[in-house]
Amino acid sequence: MPRFFRRLREGVFDEDDLRARTDELAEFVTAAGTAYDVEAGSWVAVGFSNGANIASSLLMRHPQLLSGAVLLAAMVPYRQQPAGVDLTGRWAVVANGQRDPMATPAETTTLVETLRSLGAQVDVLSHEGGHTIDQTQLPRMATVVAEGL
């Protein structure tokens, strides 16, 4: 299936390609901000599955662009925590299923711990499902996007 970046095999990202595609996305967001008069740091990245993976990568590599991210069925984008990243003042919602074969509970815990260790406020919205979006959590996500954590 089409993806935003290459992977080496199921569940293993080509991290060099992920960094390159994330930097391209950051250039696009910066240009869109200029074109539409949107202040850097006010964008919210929202993504499901690989969309969530590149959204979390954008938050980690270019935190100045985002106020936060809503990550649905997200995995850890980088096996080694990025050095020198400060997500203080940024937030993330991580909404993963407890039965997700890709974004497993262990993967979710690692992602949440990584984001928190970088200074982000993180709201975890676990659900009983698998690699899906739990529609009952959408109102909470909308509130977080509107108000921040």
Q: What is the per-residue pLDDT across 111-148, written as a single tens digit (0 to 9) for each?
A: 999 999 999 999 999 999 999 999 999 999 999 888 87
pTM (global) more than 0.85: yes
Q: What is the per-residue pLDDT across 11-44, written as a single tens digit (0 to 9) for each?
A: 788 899 999 999 999 999 999 999 999 999 999 9
Backbone angles phi, psi at 58, to 5 degrees: -60, -40
Strands (E), 1-149: 7-9, 12-13, 43-48, 66-72, 91-95, 121-124
Structural domains of the chain, ranges and CATH numbers in brackets: 7-147 (3.40.50.1820)
Q: Annotated catalytic sites, by residue?
A: 49, 100, 131
Residues 142 and 37: their CA atoms lie apart, in Å, by 23
Matching residue, tokens 């809503």? 70
